[in-house]
Every structure is written in structure tokens, then in C-alpha cells.
């Protein structure tokens, strides 16, 4: 007998509201239908009444977790449109802040994931490590999450030599502490039995359905927008993390290993940090069309911007990674047990406020 079960918009594992209609046949999911639109805020439309400098602060609020990377993408797009030469120091500082953001986002997700399958103490442990990355942002930029450091033309804040040493020491501590919980999360029998083979997305499916980020890399595709070399990534040594199983466990491993890559990238960026100006001066007004993509913790983030020569942009279109990852999620769910649905839904790292903007 077929039954339709509502999953969300309010559900203990969901930090944000998404509604899934689960068609269930004897505890097995047959079909899942999503329903979006609970937290639509109309942020793209605000471009009519806020100029492009104010829009930087607005796009930062699209996502509460990867705010810095949204601003980075928007600024890079506007800079490309206005042909502004950004100073090298600003590029490296942007990389540093985005990677600290990635560390905090991945640790947040790993904690939520642990909580999703009922491992409360590991959740606390991971969030405690995450607190170090929050401190890094608060001390260098002035806020814990929405750090507002990117501006069109460069960055607003600089780091001192003492801060540089302190950041490197903290990054070492984060890495050591994450390494301590690695075995617990990745080799534990109970954890594996909850994640291995659950929500499998094959390599072909991942490509056809347009998965992005850890979802795509967990299915064996070595594709990461950081490879395109935006900001200072082109000057840093970087290899995307790839896993081949395509299940929830593989996606978890990708994110876990990406924390190490991010630590490494922060170290590289600080080692190569050049001196000089923080922001370029410019006088142009945005005109023309530009699209740009960067890698967010959740995957590829896409911005399309159209300017008409005035200080107000004509159109800002944002495609967030979760939006691209919903079709793969719908392909993962059929065939799984009802009890595994929370873990599978969490495994794509859903950020619904992002998706609905």
C-alpha cells in the first residue's frame, strides 16, 4: 500500500525548512517530491533599490554559513565587468577568509551529520573545534560569520604579523583536533552502518543530474571550481578531494578531507601573502553582462550580473549549490528505508535559505 508522508518543513534533522512529500511503500521510499519556497526573501530584487556597493552586504546574507564566498563571487563579477585590477594581497586574503569559512562550514555540517545519526557527543566535539575558526574570523574581520571583508576592488581589513602567526598556530590546532576525531567518524562500525551504501548516486547520475561540490566529488568526478584559479587559487597548489562510492559515507569523507585541504590552503596563502595595497581605486560604473562561478563549501556557486551603466545593477541571478543538488537528492531517495531519509537528506548539506534567497 502506498502512503504519502510529509517530511519537513519542520523536522528535527532539518535546520531549515524544505518540504519533501515521500511516497512510501512498506517503509521503503518509492518517490520524493520537493516543495520549496518557505523562506523566499527576494534578495535578488533588492538590486533595484540598493547600489552595487550595498549589494555586497546583501549577497553576503544570502547564506548564513558561506557569506564571505558569496561576497567574493559578487565582487569578482563586478570587478570583471568594470575591469578593475585587484591587488595581489587582496586576492590572497580573500582566499584565506574563504578557506577559514570552508573549515567552519564543513565542521558545522560534520557536527550536524553526527547529530543526524544520533552521535550527540561527536556533534559537540566537532562544534567545539569549529569555535576556533569562528574566533579566527572574529579577531581578523570583526564578526563571527558575516565578516563583510570583501568590497568591490579588494578587501577592507588587513592582518598584522602577530595575527598571521596566531592564525597559523590555530590552524595547526584545528587540524590536530580534527585528526583526533577522524577515526571515530570514519572508521566506527555504527557510523559506517548508518552511512555506507545509503543514498547512492552513481557517477553517470551525478553528471546527468548536474550535482555539484562534495556530492559530485563523492561520486568520482574530480571537479572543483577552485581549479579554475579564481582569486589567488591559480597560484596555490591544490588538488580536489575525490571519493568513488557515491554514498552518504563518501560525501562525508570528501568533506572531512576537505577540512585538511582548506587548512593547507590557508597555510599556503599566508606563506605567499604579498605586501601592498588592500583595495584598488576605481571610478567606473558597472555596464555589461558577466557570469562567474566559485566553489562554496556546498559546491559550485554561480552568479550572473547585468549592469546598465548606472550604480544600480539591472539583474543579479544567483544559483546556489543546494539548488543544483536537489535533483540528485531526489534520485538518491527512491529505494531507501524511511529511517535513512534524514541521513541522506543531510548528506547533500542542504542550505535552503540559500536556495530560495
Partner 1 sequence: MFEMTRNVLKNLMGKYSTRLYPFDTREPFERFRGTLDINVEECIFCSTCAKKCPSQCITVDVKNRTWTCDSFACVYCAVCVESCPTQCMSMYPVTKPAAGEKSLIFYQGAAKIKKPKAEKPA
Q: Which stretch binds partner 1 (CB under 8 A): 51-59, 72-80, 210-218, 342-350?
A: 51-59
* 80/188 with CB nearer partner 1: 188
Sign of CA dihedral 134, 138, 144, 148: negative
Q: Which is nearer to partner 1, 98 or 125 (CB)?
A: 125
- For partner 1, which stretch binds (CB under 8 A), given 119-127, 253-261, 323-331, 333-341? 119-127
Shortest Cβ 28–partner 1 spacing (Å): 31
SS (H, E, C) 132-165: HHHHHHHHHHCCCCCCCCEECCEECCCCCHHHHH
Q: Does 176 bind partner 1 (CB under 8 A)?
A: no
Q: How far is the CB of 286 from partner 1 (least distance, A)?
A: 17
Phi, psi of 279 (to 5 degrees): -140, 145
Q: Which is nearer to partner 1, 132 or 207 (CB)?
A: 132
Q: Of the candidates 11, 157, 164, 306, which one interacts with partner 1 according to CB under 8 A?
A: 157
Is 139 an interacting residue with respect to partner 1 (CB under 8 A)?
yes
What is the CB-side half-sphere exposure of residue 19 using CA atoms within 13 A?
10
Report yes or no: 43 and 28 within 8 Å, Cβ to Cβ: no
Residue number, 11 or 61, with CB nearest to partner 1 = 61
Q: State yes or no: residue 71 binds partner 1 (CB under 8 A).
A: no
How far apart (Å, rounded) are the C-alpha atoms in residues 333 and 32? Answer: 7
Cα–Cα distance for residue pair 149/146, rounded to 1 Å: 9
Q: How many whole angstroms separate alpha carbon 99 and alpha carbon 263? A: 7
The residues, ordered by sequence, that sit 6+ positions from 197 with a Cβ below 8 Å of its Cβ are: 247, 249
> Is the CB of residue 316 less than 8 Å from the CB of residue 59?
yes
Q: Between vectors from CA 301 to CA 297 and to CA 97, what angle results, nearest 5°? A: 50
| Beta carbon of residue 23, minimum distance to partner 1 (angstroms, whole number) | 38
Using the rule CB under 8 A, give the single segment among 13-21, 27-35, 187-195, 337-345 that binds partner 1: 187-195
The residue (of 139 and 222) whose beta carbon lies closer to partner 1 is 139
Q: Contact with partner 1 (CB under 8 A): which of 28, 33, 41, 53?
A: 53
Which parts of 189-208 interact with partner 1 (CB under 8 A)? Answer: 189
| 81, 100, 141, 250: residue in contact with partner 1 (rule CB under 8 A) | 141
Rounded Cα–Cα distance for residues 328 and 164 (Å): 40
The verdict on 223 binding partner 1 (CB under 8 A) reads: no
CB of 139 to partner 1, least distance (A): 4
Do residues 320 and 175 make contact, with C-beta atoms less than 8 angstroms apart? no
Tell me which residues touch partner 1 (CB under 8 A): 50, 53-58, 61, 121-122, 125, 128, 135, 138-143, 146, 148, 156-157, 180-181, 183-184, 187-189
Amino acid at each position: 500500500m502506498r502512503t504519502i508522508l510529509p517530511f519537513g518543513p519542520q523536522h528535527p534533522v532539518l535546520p531549515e525548512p524544505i518540504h519533501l512529500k515521500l511516497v512510501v511503500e512498506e517503509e521503503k521510499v518509492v518517490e520524493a517530491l520537493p516543495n520549496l519556497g518557505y523562506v523566499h526573501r527576494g534578495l535578488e530584487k533588492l538590486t533595484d533599490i540598493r547600489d552595487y556597493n550595498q549589494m555586497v552586504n546583501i549577497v553576503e546574507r544570502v547564506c548564513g554559513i558561506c557569506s564571505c564566498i558569496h561576497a567574493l563571487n559578487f565582487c569578482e563579477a563586478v570587478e570583471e565587468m568594470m575591469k578593475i585590477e585587484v591587488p595581489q594581497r587582496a586576492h590572497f586574503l580573500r582566499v584565506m577568509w574563504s578557506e577559514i569559512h570552508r573549515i567552519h562550514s564543513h565542521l558545522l555540517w560534520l557536527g550536524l551529520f553526527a547529530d543526524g545519526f544520533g552521535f550527540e557527543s561527536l556533534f559537540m566535539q566537532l562544534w567545539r573545534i569549529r569555535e576556533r575558526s569562528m574566533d579566527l574570523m572574529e579577531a581578523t574581520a570583526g564578526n563571527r560569520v558575516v565578516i563583510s571583508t570583501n568590497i568591490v576592488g579588494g578587501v577592507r581589513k588587513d592582518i598584522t604579523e602577530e595575527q598571521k602567526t596566531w592564525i597559523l598556530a590555530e590552524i595547526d590546532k584545528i587540524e590536530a583536533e580534527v585528526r583526533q576525531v577522524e577515526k571515530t567518524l570514519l572508521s566506527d562500525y555504527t557510523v559506517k552502518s548508518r552511512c555506507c551504501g545509503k543514498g547512492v548516486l552513481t557517477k553517470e547520475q551525478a553528471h546527468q543530474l548536474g550535482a555539484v561540490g562534495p556530492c559530485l566529488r563523492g561520486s568520482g568526478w574530480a571537479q572543483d571550481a577552485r581549479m579554475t584559479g579564481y582569486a589567488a587559487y591559480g597560484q596555490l597548489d591544490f588538488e580536489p578531494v575525490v571519493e568513488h562510492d557515491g554514498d552518504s559515507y563518501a560525501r562525508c569523507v570528501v568533506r572531512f578531507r576537505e577540512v585538511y585541504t582548506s587548512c593547507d590552503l590557508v597555510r599556503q596563502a599566508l606563506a605567499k601573502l604579498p605586501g601592498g595595497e588592500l583595495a584598488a581605486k576605481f571610478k567606473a560604473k558597472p555596464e555589461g553582462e558577466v557570469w562567474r562561478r566559485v566553489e562554496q563549501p556546498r559546491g559550485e556557486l554561480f552568479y550572473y550580473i547585468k549592469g546598465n551603466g548606472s550604480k544600480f545593477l539591472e539583474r543579479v541571478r544567483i544559483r546556489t549549490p543546494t539548488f543544483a543538488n536537489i535533483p540528485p537528492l531526489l534520485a538518491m531517495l527512491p529505494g531507501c528505508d524511511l529511517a535513512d531519509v534524514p541521513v541522506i537528506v543531510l548528506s547533500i548539506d542542504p542550505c535552503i535559505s540559500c536556495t530560495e534567497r
